[in-house]
Chains A and B, each alone.
Chain A
Amino acid sequence: RKEVEQDPGPFNVPEGATVAFNCTYSNSASQSFFWYRQDCRKEPKLLMSVYSSGNEDGRFTAQLNRASQYISLLIRDSKLSDSATYLCVVSPFSGSARQLTFGSGTQLTVLP
């Protein structure tokens, strides 16, 4: 079983739609959680960290459920520029970006 599992998609949604991605992780000792975004043929970039209480950054909302070992990302009012692969990422270290384990990613295409 992979340490971090994501639905690979692809998700094809129209502009303005709301889309949600889910991710599960197997290591219950995981302490830090992130969503990274990777554009086609580019490097991954941090989208947002995920906190236990849930957090929001503009149109993006991330949730963490430690009991179920489940992380989600919600994108509201999707834009063409949101088209990318979204990587779910966990670390065994608290407040640290060391030893990140990446999911395989969920591909999103926003259609005009």
Chain B
Amino acid sequence: DAGVIQSPRHEVTEMGQEVTLRCKPISGHDYLFWYRQTMMRGLELLIYFNNNVPIDDSGMPEDRFSAKMPNASFSTLKIQPSEPRDSAVYFCASSSSHSGGPYEQYFGPGTRLTVT
């Protein structure tokens, strides 16, 4: 089975540009999570969805960040405008509440974002 798929794997952009990160969760999973990882702050939860509905976005750093999940197989994380401090690895993860639990989160390979 395919795991969590993220694209692009690497993104280099200039400050002020819009960046869109994409994620396809594992089929059948009803939870989707967006994380950001930096050396300074470690792995931080930005937002998560349950059945395509955003449940907790308290980790989203500011209004420049937005996330959507239009259907069960696709989610986007958008940064507009991007800033150098947004440089990080962004992970998408998914999990299922239908298995016996505890419910493992499966991570995608990440998108390495560099904003110059």
Among A22-30, A64-72, A92-100, which stretch is in contact with chain B?
Answer: A92-100
CB A8 to nearest CB in B, in angstroms, measures 10
Whether, in the assembled complex, A87 has its beta carbon less than 8 Å from a beta carbon of chain B, the answer is: yes
Task: State the CA gap A43–B109 with chains docked (Å).
Answer: 5
Whether, in the assembled complex, A49 has its beta carbon less than 8 Å from a beta carbon of chain B, the answer is: yes
Residue in B42, B44, B108 with the greatest tally of chain A CB atoms within 10 Å? B42
- Residues on the B chain within 8 Å of A100, using CB: 33, 45, 105
Task: State the CA gap A93–B31 with chains docked (Å).
Answer: 14
Cβ-defined contact, B43 with A44, below 8 A: yes
Task: State the CA gap A104–B41 with chains docked (Å).
Answer: 7
* With A96-B97, A98-B48, A100-B45: A43-B104 Cβ-Cβ less than 8 Å: no
Cβ-defined contact, A46 with B104, below 8 A: yes
Whether, in the assembled complex, A102 has its beta carbon less than 8 Å from a beta carbon of chain B, the answer is: yes
CB B10 to nearest CB in A, in angstroms, measures 11
List A65-108 residues whose CB lies under 8 Å from chain B: 87, 95-105
Total A-B pairs, Cβ < 8 A: 46
Cβ-defined contact, A44 with B42, below 8 A: no
Whether, in the assembled complex, B102 has its beta carbon less than 8 Å from a beta carbon of chain A, the answer is: yes
Cβ-defined contact, B102 with A95, below 8 A: yes
Cβ-defined contact, A49 with B48, below 8 A: no
Cβ-defined contact, B104 with A97, below 8 A: yes
- Residues on the A chain within 8 Å of B44, using CB: 102
- Residues on the B chain within 8 Å of A34, using CB: 102
Task: State the CA gap A105–B42 with chains docked (Å).
Answer: 8
- Residues on the A chain within 8 Å of B102, using CB: 32, 34, 49, 95-97
Cβ-defined contact, A43 with B43, below 8 A: no
Whether, in the assembled complex, B75 has its beta carbon less than 8 Å from a beta carbon of chain A, the answer is: no
Task: State the CA gap A105–B31 with chains docked (Å).
Answer: 24
> Hey, which bits of chain B sit against chain A, CB under 8 A?
31, 33, 42-45, 48, 56, 91, 95, 97, 101-105, 107-110
> Hey, which bits of chain A sit against chain B, CB under 8 A?
32, 34, 42-46, 49, 87, 95-105
